[in-house]
Structure formats: structure tokens, C-alpha cells
A and B are shown apart, each in its own frame.
Chain A
Amino acid sequence: SAVISQKPSRDICQRGTSLTIQCQVDSQVTMMFWYRQQPGQSLTLIATANQGSEATYESGFVIDKFPISRPNLTFSTLTVSNMSPEDSSIYLCSVFGLAKTGELFFGEGSRLTVL
């Protein structure tokens, strides 16, 4: 299994500000994934963060709004820029495990509320 630490665990933010979420993994991984879970909804993949290259964004998500850094094989950050109330959500960092099942492990999530 993989142990994933995220911070902050929760925050209340003002409209128009930006917040950076950090994700630390206890092992080296090639890909790290950032998901969003809006209230009452399922998980939506924002982007895949690869070390040494730019992140790959899913349809509907852009780098200007969600810049991602991946400075090494155990760490990544996701910034939510120029926040609006619609960005109120749980943001989850995840990685594939090393078992042959290859399941996705999740961090505890960062719950953001934008006022």
C-alpha cells in the first residue's frame, strides 16, 4: 500500500484568492493523480502529474486554473487559482499501488470551502 499525506486537510477561503494543496507519498511513484469531489458527487479526475514534465489535464480543466507542480517522485502540489464558490470541493491526491491489482490509493483529501 501507499501512504499519502495531504495538507491542508481543510480550509475556508475567500473568493478570488488561490490556495495550494500539498501531497506527499511515502514511496517513489511515476504518476500522481489529482481528483475533485464536489458535494454529493463522485470523483472527477483533474489531471495527472508526471515528474519532469507538464501535467496532463482532463477535459474541462486548465493549467491556468489548476497549476500543478511535480518537483520529484514523492511530492506534488495542486493550486486552485482565483477561487469562486463553485470550487468548494474535496480535492484528493492519489497514486497507484505496487500490487498487481494496481488499485488507486487516496490521500485523506483537502476540503475547501470558498465564501
Chain B
Amino acid sequence: GQNIDQPTEMTATEGAIVQINCTYQTSGFNGLFWYQQHAGEAPTFLSYNVLDGLEEKGRFSSFLSRSKGYSYLLLKELQMKDSASYLCAARGGNKLVFGAGTILRVKS
């Protein structure tokens, strides 16, 4: 089966760093994705990992450990506009399965 777990919500302060964790179980794994979704909008792609290690993309980085079924999204220099839901998604074969999402609240 497929199962993806991530925290329901997190709060962090503007300018700080926050790490959102995700654990997954999926058959035929071939990629781990992170998406950002603001209220009332469609999800937008943030990052992708298929090999172990860290992928950095500006203020956002994502890490993957396939042996542990674990990923995290790291957001640096938090801004108020980063307040959103962050969705972890694992690709198995030709399907992308999403976690429930982590609501991140950035406070000043």
C-alpha cells in the first residue's frame, strides 16, 4: 500500500528556519515531491528528489533518504508569504500520492 505522514501544522517566526518532515511508504517508488498550496489555489511544485541527499533551490531545500523512507523540506529566511500548506507526495509508478499536508504559519 501507500502511506505518507507529515505533521498537521507548524508555526515559525519570520526570518527563522523551519524543517517539515515526511515519511512515506510506496511501491515502485520513483520520486519524492514537495508542493506549496496557498488557500484557495492549486498546488505549485517546489522540489523533487529521486536520489538520496539534499537538493537546494534558493531558500528551499529538500532531503531524501530512500532507505529510511524519509524526506524533509527546509525553508530558510522565512517570510510571511511562506504561510501555506506544504504537501509531501511520493510517486510510485505513474501515480503521485499526496500526504495530508502541513499547514505552516509564519508569525512576525
Instruction: For the complex, count residues of B whose C-beta is within 8 A of A.
Output: 19
Q: Which B-chain residue is minimally distant from A92 (CB atoms)?
A: B42
Cβ of B76 within 8 Å of any chain A Cβ, yes or no, is no
Please, which residue of chain A has its CB at the minimum distance from the CB of B49? A101
Q: Give the bracket for the number of chain A residues in contact with chain B.
A: 10 to 19
- Tell me if B94 and A42 are in contact (CB < 8 A): no
Contact pattern, A 90-115, Cβ under 8 Å of B = 1, otherwise 0: 00100010000111111111000000
Taking the complex as formed, is B100 at the interface, i.e. its CB lies under 8 A from any CB of chain A? Answer: yes
Given contacts A42-B87, A101-B48, contact A106 B99 (CB under 8 A): no
Find residues 49-100 in chain A having any chain B CB closer than 8 Å to their own CB. 92, 96
Residues of B within 8 A of A106 (CB): 42-44
B33 within 8 A of A: yes
How far does the Cβ of B67 sit from chain A's closest Cβ, in whole Å?
22
Provide the residues of chain B in CB contact with A104, threshold 8 Å.
33, 45, 89, 96
CB of B105 closer than 8 Å to a CB of A: no
Q: Would A42 and B100 be within 8 Å (CB), given that A31-B94, A48-B94, A104-B33 are in contact?
A: yes
Per-position binary interface string of chain B over residues 69-101, scored 1 when its CB falls under 8 Å from any chain A CB and 0 otherwise: 000000000000000000101010011111111
Report which B residues bind A (CB closer than 8 A): 31, 33, 41-45, 48, 87, 89, 91, 94-101
Not counting A103-B45, A106-B43, a sample of 4 additional A-B residue pairs whose C-beta atoms are within 8 angstroms of each other reads: A43-B98, A45-B95, A104-B45, A105-B45
